[in-house]
Amino acid sequence: MTETTLSPADRTALAKDWFEDLRTRICGEFEAIEREAGSDAAFVFTPWEREEEGNPDPGGGVQGLMKGKVFEKVGVNVSTVRGNFSPEFAASVNGASADNPGFSATGISLVAHMANPHVPAVHMNTRFLTTGKAWFGGGADLNPPIPYDEDTAEFHACFRATCSRHNPTYYDRFKKWADDYFYIPHRQCHRGVGGIFYDHMEVAEEGAFDRNFSFTRDVGETFLDIYPRLVRRRMNAEFTDADKLQQLEWRGRYAEFNLVYDRGTLFGLKTGGNIDAILMSLPPEAVWT
């Protein structure tokens, strides 16, 4: 089967299979880190089904959640849903409209909040959506309560190299997109130290599906390569009560962004997603002083 003979459902199925495989490997690596720390923590996987009136096959997903010694709370979710947007929400989605509100979407979403404030929290998401158009989107960004220049530089260097293998313009474009997107206007600060963010990589042109799917897979592989290295580098560092307070205050900023500005949160809520899976991005504990 070639790209030109793939139906929209075939493309969604290919992306779904990849996201599920990536989920399995990420969860295995995170559990291995817990074992290295002397913990037997493991992911609990909870399937859920979406409901939509008049839709016999609305899809659903699996929420993966682990609370351990190193990963205070980490969620790795995969969902595949299909149906119709509400007319008012359809107007805000690429390729959708009140007259053409149908959609399908599959993706992986990950947020990790760490026990040790010296270990950076992280977000990663990649997805494939089909409306009147079809496209890939996603990215990864690092969110350290206590930033280390070494970690920030290495995280960005890995994604710069990945982007450069596909297009020499990608890194500068997608880094700026992340910087602009992960900004908290009412706090006048960024959510973290950035990364990459991309969206609307459409697949209508010949070869575009294979090309953009390849890039999206490389984003996932890059995350799986770099983030566990950063965790292992910092997870045994000693920390003070002041360090922990700094982490908890920073988590408050993270929660504010995700509840007020994050498009993924809004998409999940507007399309009847699982509330627990949508809000797994929120930290287990935060303070506002």
Q: pLDDT category, 1, cuts 50, 70, 90?
A: low
Return the closest-CA partner of residue 75 out of 255, 270, 251, 280: 280
Long-range Cβ pairs for the range 264-271 (8 Å, 24+): 264/109, 264/125, 267/105, 270/85, 270/86, 270/89, 271/50, 271/81, 271/83, 271/85, 271/89, 271/103, 271/105
Mean pLDDT over each residue of the chain, to the nearest integer: 96
Measured CA to CA, the distance from residue 257 to residue 278 in angstroms comes to: 14
Beta-carbon contacts of 99 under 8 Å, excluding residues fewer than 6 positions away, are none
Tokens of 53: 């009136």
The pLDDT assigned to 25 comes to: 98
Task: Give catalytic status of residue 166 as yes or no.
Answer: no
pLDDT, tens digit, for every residue of 43-88? 999 999 999 999 999 999 999 999 999 999 999 999 999 999 988 8
pLDDT, tens digit, for every residue of 212-264? 999 999 999 999 999 999 999 999 999 999 999 999 999 999 999 999 999 99
Measured CA to CA, the distance from residue 286 to residue 282 in angstroms comes to: 9
Measured CA to CA, the distance from residue 51 to residue 34 in angstroms comes to: 35
**Fold that domain 3-281 belongs to in CATH:** oxygen-dependent coproporphyrinogen oxidase (3.40.1500)
42 neighbors 28 (Cβ within 8 angstroms): no
The residue extents of the domains of the chain are 3-281
Measured CA to CA, the distance from residue 69 to residue 17 in angstroms comes to: 30
**Catalytic, out of 123, 166, 190, 200:** 123
